[in-house]
């Protein structure tokens, strides 16, 4: 999730569990801890110029449920030895440190980017993909709770506001999972009728909401893309077919960079050949034809073999995304007429 949301979540959970007289201090500590795991981007940027490595190593070590509890314990122990508030209420502050750090990767796992919760185990990143990376309907409850708590200080109202903000934001996650289940149920029906019951599929909310969803389905010669509004749409999902150079992808499959991207994206990639260069796009993030992550990963040589581009090059996304986003609000409430997509 975005940094503001993580700051508010860390501040909320930390302040909700400490004594009232420590509440404002805990909000500051929780805000810092809530954004700390994402600072892994800085050393990655300094240590490598490989954009694929920067992308796929992010949300790894710094987001691991094996690592963060130890970091929280170490920080808590250091502050406890220094005395002050942590020494006054060590158990409460232990919970505050743990919650502020551990809730960060758990929230990230609800997005589609992928979070390596069990790093260093070589498992694909977790992507429950029920929240967009920025969703005001989730963040707003936390923001109100924190603002009220900052004003109320040690008053009982402060904790009530924090708990209410956490409860409502968590309920919104529950709604997002319900909406996703509704979309995936109709996806299963539609694909079964199309003879694609076993095709890999992914549902992800459109930007800034959980009412309109995008569905991607991988096929032998490319992929399908469709939308589903849980408010307006009725009947089967209408898919549009898009091609992918599956032969080039298969020929380059053994290259480590291709394997890394395939692992990271769970196989939701588009392959295109531009001249003699293989470009892979992450189909999970963006809207057709514009995707956020596009990488030139291999070059075809005269002997007919693909060899890696070292380092891979990140290419800009395609144009047109702004125009597509502008129509999302209307699409939430209106199903296009048959044959218009």
Find out whether 294 and 274 touch, Cβ atoms under 8 Å: no
| pLDDT at res. 341 | 56
Q: What is the reported pTM?
A: 0.93
In three-state secondary structure terms, 240 is: strand
| pLDDT tens, residue by residue, 171-190 | 999 999 999 999 999 999 99
Whether pLDDT at 317 is above 90: no
Q: Which two tokens stand for residue 181?
A: 């289940």
Q: How confident is the model at residue 321 (pLDDT cuts 50, 70, 90)?
A: low
User: Residue 58: left if φ>0, alpha if ψ -120 to 50, beta else—which one?
Assistant: beta
Q: Which of 37, 30, 26, 32 is nearest to 1 (CA)?
A: 37
Whether pLDDT at 324 is above 90: no
Count other Cβ atoms within 10 Å, centred on residue 67. 17
| pLDDT at res. 47 | 87
| pLDDT tens, residue by residue, 68-87 | 999 999 999 999 999 899 99
Please give the angle made by the CA atoms of 308, 313 and 317, to the nearest 5 degrees.
Answer: 130
Answer with the residue of higher pLDDT: 104 or 324: 104
Backbone angles phi, psi at 12, to 5 degrees: -70, -50
Please give the angle made by the CA atoms of 140, 144 and 147, to the nearest 5 degrees.
Answer: 135
Backbone angles phi, psi at 327, to 5 degrees: -95, 0
* C-alpha–C-alpha distance, residues 205 and 130, integer Å: 6
User: To the nearest 5 percent, what fractions of the chain are helix, strand and coil?
Assistant: 50, 20, 30
Q: Which of 139, 131, 156, 154 is nearest to 34 (CA)?
A: 139
| pLDDT tens, residue by residue, 233-255 | 999 999 999 999 999 999 999 99
Q: How confident is the model at residue 319 (pLDDT cuts 50, 70, 90)?
A: very low
Q: How confident is the model at residue 323 (pLDDT cuts 50, 70, 90)?
A: low
Whether pLDDT at 63 is above 60: yes
**Tokens 């469709």 identify what position?**
226
**Mean pLDDT, the chain, whole residue set:** 94
* C-alpha–C-alpha distance, residues 279 and 129, integer Å: 24
User: Which contiguous run of DSSP H or E holds residue 306?
Assistant: strand 306-315
Pairing of strands 239-243, 222-229: antiparallel
| pLDDT at res. 83 | 87
- DSSP letter at 266 equals T
| pLDDT at res. 339 | 62
* C-alpha–C-alpha distance, residues 117 and 331, integer Å: 34
């Amino acid at each position: 999730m975005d940094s503001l949301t993580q700051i508010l979540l860390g501040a909320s959970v930390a302040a909700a569990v400490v004594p009232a007289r420590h509440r404002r201090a805990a909000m500051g500590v929780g805000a810092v801890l809530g954004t700390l795991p994402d600072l892994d981007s800085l050393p990655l940027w300094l240590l490598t110029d490989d954009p694929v490595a920067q992308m796929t190593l992010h949300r790894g070590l710094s987001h691991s449920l094996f690592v963060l509890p130890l970091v929280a314990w170490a920080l808590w122990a250091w502050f406890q030895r220094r005395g002050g508030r942590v020494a006054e209420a060590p158990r409460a502050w232990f919970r505050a440190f743990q919650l502020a750090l551990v809730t960060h990767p758990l929230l990230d796992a609800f997005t589609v980017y992928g979070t390596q919760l069990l790093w260093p185990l070589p498992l694909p990143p977790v992507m429950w993909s029920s929240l967009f990376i920025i969703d005001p309907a989730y963040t707003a409850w936390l923001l109100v709770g924190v603002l009220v708590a900052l004003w109320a200080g040690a008053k009982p109202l402060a904790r009530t506001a924090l708990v209410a903000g956490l409860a409502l934001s968590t309920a919104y996650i529950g709604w997002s999972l319900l909406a996703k289940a509704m979309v995936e149920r109709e996806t299963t029906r539609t694909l079964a009728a199309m003879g694609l019951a076993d095709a890999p599929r992914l549902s992800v909310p459109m930007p800034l909401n959980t009412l309109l969803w995008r569905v991607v389905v991988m096929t032998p010669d490319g992929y399908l893309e469709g939308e589903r509004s849980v408010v307006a749409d009725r009947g089967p999902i209408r898919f549009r077919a898009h091609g992918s150079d599956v032969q080039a992808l298969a020929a380059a499959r053994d290259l480590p960079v291709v394997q890394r991207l395939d692992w990271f994206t769970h196989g939701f990639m588009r392959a295109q050949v531009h001249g003699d260069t293989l470009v892979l796009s992450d189909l999970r993030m963006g809207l057709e034809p514009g995707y956020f992550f596009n990488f030139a990963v291999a070059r075809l040589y005269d002997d007919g073999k693909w060899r890696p581009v070292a380092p891979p090059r990140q290419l800009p996304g395609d144009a047109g995304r702004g125009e597509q986003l502008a129509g999302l609000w209307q699409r939430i409430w209106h199903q296009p007429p048959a044959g218009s997509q």
